[in-house]
Amino acid sequence: MDYISTRDTNLQAAKFTDILMSGLAPDGGLYLPAEYPDVSEDLASLRETLNTKGYAALVAEILKLYIDDIPHEDLEAIAERAYTAEAFGSEEIVSVDKFDERLYLGHISEGPTAAFKDMAMQLLGELFEYELTRRGAKLNILGATSGDTGSSAEYAMRGRDNINVFMLTPAGRMTPFQQAQMYSLDEENIYNIAIDGTFDDCQDIVKAVHGDAAFKAEYSIGAVNSINFARILAQVAYYFALYFRTVEDNETEISFAVPTGNFGNAYAGIVARLMGLPIDQIIIANNENDGLDKFFNTGYFHTKGLGGAQKTSSPSMDIVKPSNFERFIYDLLDGEPGRVADIFGEQLKEGGFNLSEDTKMLDIIPEFGIASGSSTHADRINQIRRAHEELDTLIDPHTADGVKVARDWLENIDTEIIVLETALPVKFSETITEAIGSFPATPVRFAGIEDGERHVVDMDNNAEDVKRFISEHAAEKEN
């Protein structure tokens, strides 16, 4: 399998381990596989793998379809190390429960940091460790987080001798629990940087640093955000697992409602559908930062005049410029890299783009199966309260966004819907308390997490300052 850039297919095709280590393509584009494998005739075999060998074995089978420069037996061992009952609380790793009439909850947030990001980060940590050891190399990871990616990455990478993590966070825009998960870590290879800005500002800095080819090469800068296609691959696997654990045959279609900010979780579902998994609709759920919902309804995506992402009670979705949207637009436009480069390299900087008159927009539903909707704070409170009082289930604010939008679509969709549970309620005490009047006891594994010392550096919204910080501390580790 070769990988190409969304912005220039004339670049030399790359192999998986190269894109794993580099994150962004040299031209600023995102890497994609040259083609998506069709597994529609192999669903029975993949189901049997999950049922008889477990989740890690299913992940390995998905990885083998996309990776030809790591031996298959090594991929199996990597997956086994990443997905353990110790890390995820059960042998199942992911599970699904009936939630309400025609609605299910897909539990993908039982990992070390109580967020679905663990599903990819635990695998990414093992892949990095494997390839860096094989190359005798070190990596300085630069990432950005709107709430959950950072802690998932840091817990997956902490203590690894050949990896440093520099994680940018939007100052004051995460919940106290989310901040504590990251800032309480006192590891020599973990550096938390609070940026005076939004998540989009943090993400722009990450892309700017990756765009400095000389700096990136000198300091071996890598990526853990979902600009790294390895993250998407890991997430594709749980769509298959949730489907197999909900549907008894391999033909019945089902839909997924996906709370999304950076579009990685949703894009993984689109990939699974393109591979032949019988998915009817991927239902995109936005919060008040609803640019994706507006695009899928109008063909117009804009950021001009928004002044950055609005701060909401589902903070991990407070994103205006979702990175993985570029991959989708590449697919939508049938791989027109010139147009993609113009749209994301030029038009987006000027405030947005308009595809409403592009005939390919008509193919969004039949080809990609996408529906969308948005949710407000009042909606989240209502759904959390309703789930607690009527269904005896506690859901977090992001999952509540997904439930709200899923309910909105029930009359227009014939299938049952799996709502992806993207985090556990323990991370959002203020909103949960507002919804149900109290907050359940904190699980033992998280007890006292908000009381510890904080390890974080405040910094202006400036890519040069971040580069200077990386160069100083990467040099310190070398010495």
CA dihedral (50, 51, 55, 61) in degrees, to 10, reads -20
Catalytic residue (choose from 117, 138, 321, 404)? 117
CB 7 within 8 A of CB 340: yes
Amino acid (one-letter) located at 455: H
Q: Pairing relation of β-strands 417-421 and 254-259?
A: parallel
CB 399 within 8 A of CB 314: no
Give the residue among 172, 165, 421, 210 at the shortest CA–CA distance from 323. Answer: 210
Place of tokens 């008159």: 357
Place of tokens 């939630």: 99
Residue 182 has phi, psi (to 5 degrees) of -85, -55
Angle subtended by helix axes 264-274 and 325-332, to nearest 10: 30
Cα–Cα distance, 368 to 296 (Å, whole number)? 11
Total residue count of the chain as it appears in this document: 479
Q: Is 117 a catalytic residue?
A: yes
Angle subtended by helix axes 229-246 and 264-274, to nearest 10: 60
Tell which phi-psi region holds residue 281, choosing left (phi > 0), alpha (psi between -120 and 50) or beta.
beta
Cα–Cα distance, 152 to 157 (Å, whole number)? 9
Provide the annotated active-site residues.
117
